[in-house]
Amino acid sequence: MSMKATIRQVDSVTVVDVSGRITLGEGCTQLRELIRDQLSKGNKNILLNLADVTYIDSSGIGELVSGYTGVSKQGGALKLLNLTKKVHDLLQITKLYTVFDVHDDEAKAIGSFAKAPSA
């Protein structure tokens, strides 16, 4: 199963519900293009809901990092919502859990953007 993404706008935040595999190839390319597309539209507050992500590999982690730094450079913020245990463990062992702003409550996650200076 390849990656699928549904985009919805909640206040000033673009919520992306991601499902499937974020792995080298199609999944990573799709995520990269999606973030680039949102930035080009001026949507700089991006919340990736990873609840239905079944698999993420080292390239997928790299793509999340790339998205994080790319959005930050534009003065925005990319945050993560609803990590599965597998994704949570991967971010922990790669020490990226402390880099990303991770949430498990969507309303609170969206509220956290409003408090950010960039919002």
Pairing of strands 13-22, 4-10: antiparallel
The DSSP bridge partners found for residue 13 are 10
Residue with smaller CB distance to another protein, 9 or 54: 54
Q: For the chain, how many helices (H) and strands (E)?
A: 4, 5
Q: How far is the CB of 6 from another protein (least distance, A)?
A: 23
CA distance 84 to 55: 10
Q: Look up residue 81 and give its two tokens.
A: 């919502």
Residue with smaller CB distance to another protein, 86 or 108: 86
Residue with smaller CB distance to another protein, 7 or 24: 24
Q: How far is the CB of 11 from another protein (least distance, A)?
A: 28
Q: How far is the CB of 102 from another protein (least distance, A)?
A: 15
Question: Where does this chain bind another protein (CB under 8 A)?
Answer: 23-25, 57-59, 61-63, 65-66, 68-69, 86, 90, 93-96, 99
Q: Look up residue 28 and give its two tokens.
A: 């990573």
